[in-house]
Chains A and B, each alone.
Chain A
């Protein structure tokens, strides 16, 4: 049986890397009128092959995740864990939808571009008028070594637990996920803007990844408040 485990981890408190990215985009790269907000996550996508039944394997995985700080530390991180196997699902931590609600609630207020020169009220109005889009950007190194190291670590730890001695683990993604809240008229414009923000092609264009050693997946733009399909 294969268990697909997807883990999204964010800091509970201030994320200085995300703040720096936001301020760089607002103040140095000219996105002050279009970037509503930005959030950053660590993302892990694991495939676990085991003869153990689903709930036992998920319990073993959860024990490993909880007892070490490789993935998250509950004192300082929020996390959303989703496990799927043979048509069943198990979720732990904050749901992804709740993470999204919290993110959207902060837009245009203190959690949004608070230093955008008094434009917050206007942005909130525009947001309520549904011109805001959420675009997810997944950034990952081409080099597999970080993914292989994570897989080896989890597999080694699962081998030490009675139900999952036989488990083999693949790490499909070990990535940084950015959520961008953008003002645009249509989804395709928001996606194009996310592409320009993400790919560092020139000194004056792009911030979030360097295509010479990283790759990105840019998700479809969704109107803020619209349910994920």
Chain B
């Protein structure tokens, strides 16, 4: 029997089926379970995905109400045991509000995902951006190439920020930083829109010290196939999209699939 990847469906999430599709595309078995029926399943899961959406309608603060659900206590324990855990977008907000990531002191809420800070606009922002791997060891980023990777994001609260100087110093030293926003050429992200939300140190994803839990604001499951990449994206992925539109290979793996192939390898090992 294949080991199962558990996808937790909190009320208000809307990316559970895309996440399941990406999991199945790399040969894993996945299962979507509701938040109030998932505690036991977390204990047996080979990996856990907390997908994107608007859990509890983002009431009070994005991710905070889901973070108080009992199932997140199980997820924190699973992450501590080394089970791969990924939170995507709203899932990232939930992991951060749960103190699972960056997890320098597990359980402590060391960072926030604050409202976007963007030049000339406020609120929700949806765009394709570029990210690249950062120094911290993270099992989810091991298959990403050492080059800028186009990926899509869609959020209103995606700005990683901390008020704790010690946490900031560790992030500046590269600890916990799994992905950063960058220019299409791979250079450091400047202001908006290269850094699309004003995130501290242009952080796009944080990981825990063991590298098995990642909170990522962009959506790898929405960049899992070439047909999802827009034609206007430059570089080899945009080229593949334009080329494959004529050759018919639109269902070849896209730039975000590397996150899931790395997950599959970790689960199988």
Residues of A participating in the B interface, judged by any CB pair closer than 8 Å: 16-17, 20-21, 24, 28-29, 141-143, 145-146, 149, 200-204, 206-214
> Which 4 residue pairs across A and B have the least CB separation, nearest first?
A212-B112, A213-B114, A210-B112, A17-B59
Asked if B115 is an interface residue, CB under 8 A from chain A, the answer is: yes
Contacts of B57 in A (CB 8 A): 16-17, 20
How many contacts A-B (CB < 8 Å)?
81
CA distance A21 to B60 in the complex (A): 7
Question: B64–A210 contact, CB under 8 A?
Answer: yes
Question: A211–B115 contact, CB under 8 A?
Answer: no
Known contacts A141-B114, A212-B161; 17 further A-B pairs (Cβ under 8 A): A16-B57, A28-B68, A142-B163, A145-B117, A145-B122, A201-B108, A203-B67, A203-B99, A204-B107, A206-B109, A207-B64, A207-B68, A210-B64, A210-B109, A212-B112, A212-B163, A213-B159
The residue in chain A whose Cβ has the minimal distance to the Cβ of B60 is A21
Q: Which of B64, B67, B114, B115 has a CB less than 8 Å from the CB of A212?
A: B114
> Do A202 and B117 form a contact, CB below 8 Å, given A16-B57, A17-B60, A207-B60?
no
Q: Which of A211, A212, A214 has the most chain B CB atoms closer than 10 A to its own CB?
A: A212
Cβ proximity bits B100-123 to A, threshold 8 Å, 1 near / 0 not = 100000011111101101000010
Question: B109–A202 contact, CB under 8 A?
Answer: yes
Question: A20–B163 contact, CB under 8 A?
Answer: no
For chain B, the bracket of interface size reads 20 to 34
B106 CB to nearest A CB, Å: 9
CA distance A224 to B162 in the complex (A): 37
A47 CB to nearest B CB, Å: 22
Contacts of A20 in B (CB 8 A): 56-57, 59-60, 65
Question: A203–B114 contact, CB under 8 A?
Answer: no
Q: Which of A16, A141, A146, A213 has the most chain B CB atoms closer than 10 A to its own CB?
A: A213
